[in-house]
């Protein structure tokens, strides 16, 4: 593991890392904030389309609150990099910067686009073995909110808490999700369901803690791509504890995230106990 940059922040450290990944078979980057003193737990943050490991750590204003609660955050990149697969760099919503947190099965992509396993297995191992933090939770934004809901619901023992900002809750039913799932998984729509938080709730997957979701009501993607209400309705039906906070006037940006990130960090801290 290579430490690329390190900056003292709120008495802790904001750092940028690189390592050869066994899952993606590429060099992967991630950023971290580690507070001073005892670390109570580690939040994995999954970013959205076009993002890298840098967006959250530079723009979300999370370090103050993380330091206060004694939490670490780790922010992986959103896809493998440095490859040249067919179609990989043609659009912002597929391929590089758009891994969708799935294990691909399609030709070419299946050898590298293994972001589900990268997060749930390799990154978890790094948190436990390198950073020596045993308790882990998960959150994210947009495509990363989808990733957090899916990964958390499928691994409720491993992840002590789940939250999301503006998540794509029902990717099988919206253009972003359909393009990505078809591209990475082909036409096997049964497999698509294992990467769709609404379908997971429908299939009986649950998490013991309240899932916290913030959604801006002036978010241009809410109706066509996110459909946050689908998740809240299903959670209600299957008695999954959840809190959907609808935020008047807020959009899809990191300014929205920075406004409410403290509430998410407090929620994760409470779930770590």
Cα(188)–Cα(71) distance, integer angstroms: 39
Site string for its own copies, 4-43 (x = CB under 8 A): ---xxxxx--x-----------------------------
Which of 69, 141, 214, 252 is catalytic? The answer is 252
Give me the least distance between CB of 149 and its own copies, in Å please: 24
What backbone torsions phi and psi does residue 254 show, to the nearest 5 degrees? -70, -15
CA angle (227 as vertex; 188, 155 as ends), nearest 5: 60
Residues numbered 231-270 forming contacts with its own copies, rule: CB under 8 A: 249-251, 253-256, 258-259, 262
Q: Cite the beta strand spans of the chain per DSSP E.
A: 2-9, 12-20, 27-34, 41-46, 71-76, 136-140, 159-165, 211-216, 242-247
Give me the least distance between CB of 248 and its own copies, in Å please: 8
Which of 96, 142, 163, 166 is catalytic? The answer is 142
Q: Is 252 a catalytic residue?
A: yes
Site string for its own copies, 98-137 (x = CB under 8 A): ----------------------------------------
Cα(84)–Cα(226) distance, integer angstroms: 29
DSSP state of 110: G
What backbone torsions phi and psi does residue 147 show, to the nearest 5 degrees? -60, -45
Give me the least distance between CB of 37 and its own copies, in Å please: 15
Give me the least distance between CB of 256 and its own copies, in Å please: 7
Contact of 170 with 196, CB cutoff 8 Å: yes
Residues within the interface to its own copies (CB under 8 A): 7-11, 14, 58-59, 61, 63-64, 216, 218, 249-251, 253-256, 258-259, 262
């Amino acid at each position: 593991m290579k430490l690329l940059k390190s900056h003292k922040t709120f008495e802790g450290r904001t750092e940028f890392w690189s390592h050869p990944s066994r899952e993606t078979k590429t060099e992967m980057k991630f950023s971290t904030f580690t507070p001073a003193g005892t670390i109570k737990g580690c939040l994995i943050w999954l970013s959205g389309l076009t993002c890298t490991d840098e967006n959250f750590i530079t723009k979300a204003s999370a370090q103050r609150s993380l330091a206060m609660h004694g939490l670490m955050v780790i922010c992986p990149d959103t896809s493998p990099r440095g490859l040249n697969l067919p179609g990989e760099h043609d659009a912002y919503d597929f391929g590089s910067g758009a891994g969708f947190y799935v294990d691909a099965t399609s030709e070419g992509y299946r050898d590298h686009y293994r972001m589900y396993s990268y997060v749930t297995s390799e990154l978890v191992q790094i948190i436990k073995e390198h950073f020596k933090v045993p308790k882990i939770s998960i959150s994210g934004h947009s495509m990363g909110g989808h990733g957090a809901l899916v990964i958390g619901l499928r691994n409720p023992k491993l992840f002590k808490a789940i939250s999301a900002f503006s998540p794509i809750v029902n990717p099988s039913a919206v253009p972003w999700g359909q393009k990505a799932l078809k591209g990475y998984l082909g036409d096997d729509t049964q497999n698509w369901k294992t990467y769709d938080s609404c379908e997971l709730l429908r299939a009986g997957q649950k998490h013991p803690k309240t899932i916290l979701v913030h959604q801006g009501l002036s978010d241009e993607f809410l109706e066509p791509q996110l459909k946050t209400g689908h998740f809240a309705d299903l959670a209600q039906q299957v008695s999954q504890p959840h809190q959907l906070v609808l935020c008047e006037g807020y959009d899809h940006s990191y300014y929205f995230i920075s406004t409410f990130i403290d509430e998410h960090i407090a929620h994760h801290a409470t779930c770590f106990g």
